[in-house]
A and B are shown apart, each in its own frame.
Chain A
Amino acid sequence: MYDFMFVIFATFALVGGLLMVFHPSIVHSAFALVASLFGVAGLYWTLGADFLGVTQVVLYVSGVTVLLLFAVMLSDKTLGAVSILRCAAMGLVIGPLAMALMVTYRAIDGMVGTEGAALPDPAPTTPAIGDLLLQPEGYLVPFEVASVLLLIVLVGAVTLARPMADRQVSRKTIADRADAEARGDEGASAPQGEGA
Chain B
Amino acid sequence: MIPLEHYLYLSGVVFTLGLCGVMMRRNIIMMLMGIEIMLNAANLALVAFNKYMPPGPDGTVPMDGQVFVFFTIAIAAAEVAVALAIAVALFRRLDTVNVDDVANLRW
Whether A75 pairs with B97 at a CB distance below 8 angstroms is yes
Whether A75 pairs with B91 at a CB distance below 8 angstroms is yes
Q: In the complex, which of the residues B14, B77, B90 contacts A64, with contact meaning CB atoms closer than 8 Å?
A: B77
8 pairs of A and B residues whose beta carbons are closest in the complex: A160-B85, A75-B91, A17-B17, A161-B85, A153-B78, A157-B85, A21-B21, A71-B84
**Sample (16) of A-B pairs whose CB atoms are under 8 Å apart:** A17-B14, A17-B37, A20-B17, A21-B18, A59-B77, A60-B73, A68-B29, A68-B84, A120-B51, A139-B67, A142-B71, A149-B75, A157-B81, A157-B84, A160-B85, A161-B88
* A76 cross-chain contacts in B, Cβ below 8 A: 29, 97
Interface size on A, residues (CB 8 A): 63
Interface 9-mer from A32-40, A84-92, A179-187? A32-40
Name the distance in Å between B12's Cβ and chain A's nearest Cβ. Answer: 11
Whether A30 pairs with B93 at a CB distance below 8 angstroms is no
A55 within 8 Å of B by Cβ? yes
Question: When chains A and B are docked, how far (Å) is the Cα of A52 from the Cα of B48?
Answer: 12
Q: In the complex, which of the residues B36, B70, B74 contacts A149, with contact meaning CB atoms closer than 8 Å?
A: B74
Whether A37 pairs with B40 at a CB distance below 8 angstroms is yes
Whether B70 pairs with A52 at a CB distance below 8 angstroms is yes
Whether A33 pairs with B36 at a CB distance below 8 angstroms is yes
Question: Chain B at the A interface: mostly helix, strand, loop or mixed?
Answer: helix
Chain B: which residue is nearest A164 at the CB level?
B92
**Chain B, range 62-76, C-beta contacts under 8 Å to A:** 63-64, 66-67, 69-71, 73-76
Whether B76 pairs with A14 at a CB distance below 8 angstroms is no
Q: In the complex, which of the residues B1, B14, B18, B73 contacts A118, with contact meaning CB atoms closer than 8 Å?
A: B1
**Chain B, range 16-65, C-beta contacts under 8 Å to A:** 17-18, 20-21, 24-25, 27, 29-30, 32-34, 36-37, 40, 43-44, 47-48, 50-51, 60-61, 63-64
B2 within 8 Å of A by Cβ? yes
Chain B: which residue is nearest A69 at the CB level?
B29
Q: In the complex, which of the residues A26, A37, A46 contacts B27, with contact meaning CB atoms closer than 8 Å?
A: A26
* B90 cross-chain contacts in A, Cβ below 8 A: 75
For chain B, the bracket of interface size reads 35 or more
Question: When chains A and B are docked, how far (Å) is the Cα of A52 from the Cα of B68?
Answer: 11
Q: In the complex, which of the residues A17, A30, A123, A129 contacts B67, with contact meaning CB atoms closer than 8 Å?
A: A129
**Chain A, range 1-48, C-beta contacts under 8 Å to B:** 2-3, 6, 10, 13-14, 17-18, 20-21, 26, 29-30, 33, 36-37, 40, 43-44, 46-48
B89 within 8 Å of A by Cβ? yes
Whether B85 pairs with A72 at a CB distance below 8 angstroms is no
Whether A75 pairs with B17 at a CB distance below 8 angstroms is no
B82 within 8 Å of A by Cβ? yes
Given contacts A37-B36, A68-B32, A129-B66, contact A20 B21 (CB under 8 A): yes
Whether A52 pairs with B69 at a CB distance below 8 angstroms is yes
